[in-house]
Structure 1
Amino acid sequence: MSSKASSGKGNAKNKNAKAGEKTEADIIQEQKEEIKKLKLRIETLERYMVLRSEQTQKARASEMEMKSKLSQLDEDFEKEKMERFHIASDMIRQYKALQKTLIEKLNASEQKNTSLADQLHLAKVALHEVKKEKDQIIEMKQREIEEQRQKMQSMVVEFSNMLKETLAKMGNTIQQEKEFQDDSTYNLVNNSRLLDFIPPEMIQNLKMQANAPPLPSTSHPTITTSK
């Protein structure tokens, strides 16, 4: 009833209001419309806030996921980097070890080649010395042989001359013996002289011939010579 009374009063006031002026009801209606608009706006803002909150949560979740993935990627990257570092270090270590081994083998080969070259040089020098010594020995032996040959030739010539001289003297002596066979004293003297010119070997040969059976008077004694 009070509302009816108030509405009645309002109507009365509206009736009493001047034309073109807002009544209290209009103002209230406008306020209600404004409040309604504000409520709609608040609801919109709340829905927007909820949406933004959800988006923020999703963004945070996505950010966390991205951070987790990034952290995992960083971890994987560091792990792979360490693995590659270890692999590279191992390869470098193997390369250095292989390089060291090859250098040692190369040095050993160079030392061996140097040693073999030195040995070859020493062997050549020794061979040259041996050849030189051998040539000197051969030359010395050849000189000795030549000297012996010359001595033998000289001795042969000397013996041949002595033999010729002896034969000539013996021939003269034999001729003289034929002429003076009756003179024994002369024969003894000539025989003693003849002995001075005859070598001892020939004297021994003559003695052996003297003890042999007598030969005919027309024959001459034969003397053999050996070269």
Structure 2
Amino acid sequence: MPPKKKKGKGKGKKKGKKKDDASLELEDKYKKTVDEIQALKDHLSVRKEIVRRGQAISNDWRQKVEAAQQELLEQKVDQKSINSDMTRQYKTMQTEMGLRIHQLETELGKTRQQLVHTEEQLKQTRQEKEQMMKDKDEEIENLKRTITNMEVDYGKILDESLDNLISKIDMAKERWEEQATLVHSKNKQVLLEFGLNPLDI
């Protein structure tokens, strides 16, 4: 009889050990799932940092556009001032020529050449300024398009990152629930084999 009792105690210890191993395995799987979720959170944090940097770059480009617009405005003001000054000089020259025409007949040809040269410079200056303003307008439009594209791209990146994170969390949750259910069923079966009711424990 005593040897039988010892044998029974040995079996009980073995079964208890299996139960402990199953619990440890479930706990390890749970910790692994928690670690995976933490890794996904870290990944999302990195994505958020990328988006933040993208927004900073977008703000920087926006400031550059504003500076370019301000520079263009100043150039327009300068152009107006140059045109006004050159027009005033031209009118002054014409007035002086009218007053001194009888004294400057010998220099009339030279003065006419100078006048033609001044008009060509004025025309060339106007053309250069118009081309410069056109180039600036095109540059501003390109910058605006670049900013818009960057905002759309970073918005897509953020949306994709969030969708991927949610999908991975859902998958991890489903795996954990399936494993937990399986372990629970095995433990319940073991308890039933020992004649124990799981609801009583």
**TM-score range for the pair, normalised by the shorter chain length:** 0.3 to 0.5
Larger radius of gyration: 1
Q: TM-score, normalised by structure 2?
A: 0.47
Q: Which has the higher contact order (CA 8 A, sep 6+)?
A: 2
Query: Larger helix proportion, structure 1 or 2?
Result: 2
Q: TM-score, normalised by structure 1?
A: 0.42
